[in-house]
Amino acid sequence: MKNNNEKILNNKIENFTIIKLTLIALIIGLSSGLMIGLFLILLKKAIDLNLKYYCLIFILPISGMFMTFLYSKFGGNAQKGNNLLIENINDSDEKINFIMAPLVFLGTILTHLFGGSVGREGSGVQIGGSFGSSLSYMFKCNKEEKKILVISGISAGFSSVFGTPLAGTVFALEVSNIGYLKYSAMLPAIAAAIVGDYVVRILKVKHTTFDMIKIDTISITSIFKIIIIAICFGLASKLFVFMTGVFKKYLNKYFKNKYLKIFVGGSLMVIATLIIGNRVYNNLSLSLLTGTFTKNYSNFAFIIKLLLTTLCLGAGYQGGEVTPLFVIGATLGSTLAGFIGLPLAVCSALGLVGVFSGATKTPLASFLMYLELFGSTNIIFALLVCIISVFVSGKKGIYSSQIWLNE
């Protein structure tokens, strides 16, 4: 009888804790949504200015040096970015300082203002994670509770940036420890994601939308074609991770001074932009992303975006990888459509989530993102692509602090 009473008491304490963390997660979602909403509004203005005034590209190397100074002077371990959040979920005692949020906010805006080829999810995730960590200290939470609040912050951040609360929730649960989902974090994470997304929508921030068409029949032939393109998406993910490492390795090797390193990386980006002769591959490249669903681009579009993004990331520019991964996947899918004999929009959509899945090792979140962006059309193919891409891309992803469950 005594043991039963103790179990009942422990269950009540656990339920009370989850309710408490869910209430805190609502605050995380609200705070993150407000800051990320402002971030997305300013980001759009920064990109518009860059596209209007081409000469801004020449300031990119200087802006990189400026942000390097700010991170060196005030950032501390914030330079580790998303990996710091993942390490905290995986039992690290290293403190997440709130300075991470304003630094990545400013750094990403400046990178896009001056034409860098990076993403935006890193900013959202780090802003949300910073709020989660800070509130865990404010409410005197223990280590396990702090993990859940950091997960909730990541969920809110991802959801707010892309308008995908389901994918944001599962991404936050899935990204730190591959093959394991922390069930106790599910309710706080979805609560933070929904609130964050809702706040951003109230601020009238518009997310990218897509139209999807259906493959008429599921046949052996169509499945075989899907497997082939899924393998290509996995290889593209692997190449993205590899090239980021290559640029980081050689820039660090030949330019040991961090200011010189980012200046050289930015200068190479300027030279590449001038050679290309347009701004299609700068910033988020959203026009390129949406355009792949209706028209053909160069067969080399995906590799150009991949090289420019990995150059900027390897040099140390702030932003993120996810939106560029979407663009790389969609343009690669568009290219493969002509060779494989599948509809352009279908291959672009599958590429968008396939390359993302392989690079982040989050197949469930990638599948849910497909559902939220494209609906239930072709979902069998989407799930197949997400799973195959992860296996083909190998164990190394864009987040070095991820842990595989079987290791």
Structural domains in the chain, sorted by start: 1-203 (1.10.3080.10), 220-404 (1.10.3080.10)
Which stretch of 172-176, 181-185, 194-198, 249-253 has the lowest confidence by average pLDDT? 181-185
Dihedrals phi, psi of 404, to nearest 5 degrees: -85, 135
Facing residues of 403 across strands? Answer: 177
pLDDT at 2 (0 to 100): 46
Do 156 and 39 touch, CB atoms closer than 8 A? no
Q: Would the pTM of this model clear 0.75, i.e. be above it? A: yes
Average pLDDT over residues 199-228: 82
Q: State yes or no: pLDDT of 406 exceeds 60.
A: no
Most confident among 89-98, 281-290, 349-358, 368-377 (mean pLDDT): 349-358
- On average, the pLDDT of the chain sits at 91
Element (H, E) at 249: helix 220-254
Dihedrals phi, psi of 162, to nearest 5 degrees: -105, -10
CA-based torsion, 311, 277, 60, 84: positive or negative? negative
pLDDT at 212 (0 to 100): 64
pLDDT at 320 (0 to 100): 87
pLDDT at 176 (0 to 100): 86
With tokens 């990403």, the residue in question is 108
- Report pLDDT digits (tens) over 249-265: 999 999 999 999 999 99
Q: State yes or no: pLDDT of 8 exceeds 60.
A: no
| pLDDT confidence tier of residue 125, bands split at 50, 70 and 90 | very high
The Cα–Cα gap between 121 and 99 comes to 17
Average pLDDT over residues 326-342: 93
Average pLDDT over residues 259-276: 96
If we measure between CA atoms, which residue out of 110, 40, 159, 116 comes closest to residue 308? 116
The Cα–Cα gap between 250 and 252 comes to 5
pLDDT at 10 (0 to 100): 47
| pLDDT confidence tier of residue 214, bands split at 50, 70 and 90 | low
Q: Is 81 left (phi over 0), alpha (psi -120 to 50) or beta?
A: left
What percentage of the chain reaches a pLDDT higher than 90? 75
- Report pLDDT digits (tens) over 11-68: 544 778 899 999 999 999 999 999 999 999 999 999 999 999 999 999 999 999 999 9
The Cα–Cα gap between 360 and 178 comes to 10
